Structure 1
């Protein structure tokens, strides 16, 4: 599954920061059953490459599995070798974006300014991660949307949950990356399932 198809299925990225390999498949199944099709394991999680490999092998082409907090080219390559197909970054390093595209991986760099956004676009970014969303606002996103390519996915990340999606969607958000509102270390698959269903429902309601 590529990024375009995954976002069409459900434009929400599950960010499993702190997840462990021995729990990741049960949590992944809970997310998939709720409708999620994109799962990100940040590289500052315990044994993240192992979790990425387990998820990639488990879901195959049925979901897009990748890594977050990718900071350099060596990490990007390690993710690719583990079966990850999505590179999510907190920053707009055009070298990583270009290398990811050459490797056939989807790249979502983090941006906070128009300069960063257009540099990432020119480097071949598949979409933009507006980060941290807490430092921006729906008004900021609306202004960015006025100058960005209309079809380019822009996903706010940081402080987003089921309760505050609507104003961001009205401002032009294509979807969201969901972290602590969806998963924190210690959450059971049942807890993740409940939160995942709530987030999917909130997205659909806001879009309707």
Structure 2
């Protein structure tokens, strides 16, 4: 049966950080996944802006199975959500809210994280069954301060930051109370060793923050 929706959501929250990748080839996707795993990070999102997204997801699932939690990104319509699920994606992320995608994810029990820019839109997403609210593109604009803007009136809202998260501002994001963060270039460029090194740095920061609480 594989991982259940609640397990996937909990793994994303427990791991806190995941890679966001737009691989040129499935082989490159495997290299990125290998680097992330070597650095102690077991989740990544493959964006459907990459023409090879389906093949990349299939390749990662085929080699690593549930050792790597692979999701699909930029899923804007029901057809793409279905393709992602059939390829083996365990969660779905989008740059916008779609009721059709929400319904598909609910039907197949996939955690869904739509991009939202207002509290009204985010609450609507929760009503449609979203597991996380992706703060996109506003996380790049407002930075960690946006977490309080959303969580003060709705403290139960699970937030996912995507864009604007770096090693330099990572402590601020951790302190903000955001529930998980996606990292683009930091965990998607360079050699396997470079990706592993950056993944280790992120994981060390997360561990240090949690130990200090």
Residues 39 and 198 in structure 2, CA contact (< 8 A), matched pair in contact too: no
**2: CA distance between counterparts of 1:158 and 1:47?**
22
> Could you say which residue in structure 2 is the equivalent of 1:77?
82
For residues 12 and 152 of structure 2, what CA distance do their matches in structure 1 show? Answer: 21
Tell me which residue corresponds to 1:203.
206
Matched, 1:172 2:184: no
Say if 2:142 is the partner of 1:139.
no
Q: Is the 8 A contact 1:10 1:35 kept in 2?
A: no
User: Which residue does 1:22 correspond to in 2?
Assistant: 27
Given the alignment, which residue of 189, 192, 195 partners 2:195?
192
Conserved? CA contact 2:26–2:55, under 8 Å: yes
Out of 91, 97, 101, the position equivalent to 2:102 is 97
**Deviation string, structure 1 residues 67-113 (Cα, Å, up to 9, x no partner):** 11111111111111111121110112222112111112111111111
SS in 2 for 1:181: helix
- Structure 1: any 5+ residue segments left out of the alignment? none
Contact kept, 8 Å, 1:163 with 1:202, in 2: the verdict is no
Distance in structure 1 (CA, Å) of the matches to 2:61 and 2:154? 32
1:13 aligned counterpart, secondary structure: strand
Answer yes or no: is the 8 Å Cα contact 1:162–1:203 preserved in 2.
no
Find the aligned partners of 1:82 and 1:117 in 2 and give their Cα distance.
28
1:68 to 69, 73, 89: 73
Tell me what 2:121 maps to: 116
TM-score for the superposition, normalised by structure 1: 0.90
TM-score by length of 2: 0.88
In 2, the alpha carbon distance for the partners of 1:178 and 1:147 equals 27
CA drift of 1:5 comes to 3.3
Q: Distance in 2 between matches of 1:78 and 1:140?
A: 32
Structure 2: unaligned runs, 5 residues or longer: none
1:138-159 Cα offsets, whole Å, 9 max, x none, are: 2221121112252x43111101
2:20 is aligned with 1:7: no
